[in-house]
Every structure is written in C-alpha cells, then in structure tokens.
A = this chain, B = another copy of it.
Amino acid sequence: MSSRRYDGRTTTFSPEGRLYQVEYAMEAISHAGTVIGILAKDGVVLAAEKKVTGKLFEQDKSSEKIYVLGDNILGGFAGVTSDANTLVNYARNTVQNVLLSYDDDIPVEHLTQYMCDLKQGYTQYGGLRPFGVSILYGGWDAHHNFQLYHSDPSGNYSGWKATCIGSNNGTATSLLKQDYKEGCTTQEAMSLACKVLSKTMDSTALDSEKIEFAHLTLSPRTGKPQPRIFTAQDIDRLLEREGLAKPKDPELEEAAPTAAAAGAGPAVSGSRGGEGMNVD
C-alpha cells in the first residue's frame, strides 16, 4: 500500500528499485490483442489478434496492429493504439532517413535501438509518460539475415526465435516453446502462428475479421526482402488450408462481438464512440 507512493511519477524509483509507471504501462499491453512473431529460416512471420471488429467496421482500410515500417522491416504493435500510431510514424521516418543517408536499408537491430532510445527517454524525464506499447520487429538485413526483436515500454529489447506480446502471452509462449522447431520454413511458421492464435483467442473459430497476418521473405527474383501484409482473402485462404476457418454462418458472426463485449472489461472495448481508451 505505502509502496503506492512511488507510482505517480515516472522519475521516481520505489524503495525496491522499481519504476512503477513503467510497469503500469506494461499492464496496458496485457489487455491488448496478442501479436505473435516467429522466425523461420527463409522469412519471419507476424500474426495478430484484432480486438475491434464488427459489421460496420471498414475492414480493408487500415491494418491495426501490423505495419510495414520499411522495405525490410515489419512491425507488430500491442498497447495504446494512439501511442502506437505515433511510434509507427517515428519508425518510418527513421527508416527513410537512414535510406537517404546511406542509400541502404537500415539494419533491423539499428531501428530497434533507435526506437528503444526514444522509449527509454520517456521513462526518465519528468512531465512525460512512457509509451504504452510493446513492439515486435521482424526484418532482414545483409548482416544478420532474418531477425525478430521485441521491445517493451521501458525501452528494453531482445532478440527471439519466436515470441509474443499482448493479452494471452503466457499461453502463447508455452505453445511456441512446445512446437517451435529451429530451421522451420515460413510455411511452417505460419501454420504454427495460426495454431497458437486459434488456441489463445476467445472465439472458437478464426476468420479474416479477427486476425491480421504478415510475413517478410526474400523475393526469389530480386533477392530483396519483400514485406507482405495479408488481405482478408489471403487470410481466409490460409485459415481454410489450416482447417481453422469459421463455418460460414452469418448469425454467429453477429452474436460473437456481443459476447466479446459482454466478457471483456471496459478497457478492451472497441472504439465505438468514446466508451473508453482504445487498447489493441
């Protein structure tokens, strides 16, 4: 209780040496939709659970959780959505600046470090709050081939073979540990991602409305990295192939969001007109 005295200010250590504001920012992420990243020998795969869906939602326009940050890097974001949007802008600017200066793609770890320095600063200076966002960076560069990094609100980062962020990351991590095979192909990684998502999401069946999917591979023609965010059709086809597609029953679709809304706390409700802060 009295330890609560140290949580109101970013720039304050608690007597146990903890930075509560950073930990609370991490809490924001634990309500966000899961994002999974898996490293394959010939690519890197990102998959995400969308929390906000509905018939009126414009599906095709804006991917919500997975963004192309540069020609060679994909980013998967979990946490406060508006913070994530700002960080996407920052990342894209960084990528373009390096491209302009060196006429070469930014190394993946380089971008990760840039972003983490920014994030760290927001945990150390007064009058600011940490960014409430964790990020998975999946990318390729000539130095280290395909790579997968994870960064959190404290500005810390680390390299992984397979990891996940967001609401069910405990379950997802266990599944990944169990089933991940080193040297797997991108196809196998995608299968694994689908399997993990299907087990961690609330809904019994997956469809293109509830998940986002992307991978980064080398173009067989040019040998250059090729990021690809899956369209709804792509996702549906993939899910069908994996045997995870939802049976085509429109009634069920209508019912699902209602159930989700009932089960979820206010913080994870969709942005349907100002009912709470959006955390995907």
Q: Does A117 contact B (CB under 8 A)?
A: yes
Are B156 and A271 in contact, with the CB atoms below 8 A? yes
Chain B residues within 8 Å of A155, by CB? 82, 85-86
Q: Which residues of B contact A271 (CB under 8 A)?
A: 150, 152, 156, 158
Interface pair A8/B12, CB less than 8 Å apart: yes
Q: Mark A84-102, 1 if CB is under 8 A from B, else 0.
A: 0110010000000000000
Which of B8, B22, B166 contacts A6, CB < 8 Å?
B8
Q: What B residues does A85 contact at CB under 8 A?
A: 113, 116-117, 120, 155-157
- Are B158 and A62 interface neighbours, CB within 8 A? yes
Tell me the count of chain A residues lying within 8 A, CB to CB, of chain B.
Answer: 101
How many copies of the chain does the oligomer comprise?
7
Contact A86 B26 (CB under 8 A): no
By secondary structure, the A interface counts as mixed
B132 contacts A13, CB within 8 Å? yes
Across the interface, do A58 and B148 meet the contact criterion of CB distance under 8 Å? yes
Of residues 131 to 162 in A, which have CB atoms within 8 Å of B's CB atoms?
Answer: 131-132, 134, 144, 147-148, 150, 152-162
Q: Decide if A28 is an interface residue (CB 8 Å cutoff).
A: yes
Identify which of B39, B55, B124, B164 contacts A180 (C-beta below 8 A).
B55
Residue from the list B19, B56, B116 in contact with A163, Cβ < 8 A = B56
- The contact of A24 among B15, B126, B159, B161, by CB within 8 Å, is B15
Shortest C-beta distance, A87 to chain B (Å), equals: 10
5 A-B pairs with C-beta separation under 8 A: A18-B277, A29-B274, A153-B274, A156-B278, A158-B271
Binding site for B on A (CB under 8 A): 2, 4-31, 39, 52, 54-58, 61-62, 64, 80-83, 85-86, 89, 109, 113, 116-117, 119-132, 134, 144, 147-148, 150, 152-166, 169-170, 172-173, 176-177, 180, 267, 271-279
